[in-house]
Amino acid sequence: MFRFKPAVWDGAALYELPRPVTAVRIQDSWDFARFKVPLGTGDSVAGRSAEGVDIAIEGELGTQAGALKTGEESMFLAIEALRAALSADAPDEAFELFLYHDAASSTYRSFRNCTTVRFECDLSEARLFVYSALIHASDPTIYTSAPG
């Protein structure tokens, strides 16, 4: 059963992203060489290869791992935990980003070798904080195995 539960696996712990997650955009791109002959019609492409994947995530801080976040303090603590989960302690550290995970049915979909490119949060609305993150997965493969 597919269960949309975005989460970060750092090799030791699974951190579920705060919910609701309002948008997930996956951007694939390819690198190639394009050749054009002067005065000729069209062009030719050679050496096409997949690049890494950019994943843009937007969300609101209503719950985190099933626990309701109702006050500014609990939402701020959840934002701090999210920032920590998306940050690397060492330059070569990477994490696995799960979009779907359901241990009961062994259903998983994830990107590996992920690093955070940008993280942004808006704390101006005291009732509901919002956040966005841009994550780059250097491996474009979508994996179907459990964390670890």
pLDDT at 91 over 80: no
Residue 139, pLDDT score: 95
Residue 60, pLDDT score: 95
CB contact burial 110-134 (16+ within 10 A = b; e otherwise): bbbbbbbeebebeeeeeeebbbebe
pLDDT band at 93 (very low <50, low <70, confident <90, very high): confident
> What are the tens digits of pLDDT across the range 34-89?
999 898 899 998 988 999 999 999 999 988 888 898 889 999 999 999 999 999 77
Task: Return d(Cα 67, Cα 112) in angstroms, integer.
Answer: 27
Tell me the mean pLDDT in the region 113-140. Answer: 95
Closest CA to 53 of 31, 89, 82, 29: 29
Count of residues making up the chain? 148
> What are the tens digits of pLDDT across the range 14-35?
999 999 999 999 999 999 899 9
Domain boundaries, the chain: 4-29+48-137
DSSP codes joined into one string, 27-74 = E--EEEEEE--TT-SS-EEEEEEE--EEEEEEEEEEEETTEE--SHHH
Residue keyed to tokens 């955070």: 116
pLDDT band at 130 (very low <50, low <70, confident <90, very high): very high
CATH architecture of the region 4-29+48-137 = Beta Barrel (2.40)
Closest CA to 61 of 53, 45, 73, 48: 73
Residue 11, pLDDT score: 86
Task: Return d(Cα 28, Cα 54) in angstroms, integer.
Answer: 7
Full-model pTM? 0.87
Task: Return d(Cα 57, Cα 116) in angstroms, integer.
Answer: 11
pLDDT at 126 over 90: no
pLDDT band at 118 (very low <50, low <70, confident <90, very high): very high
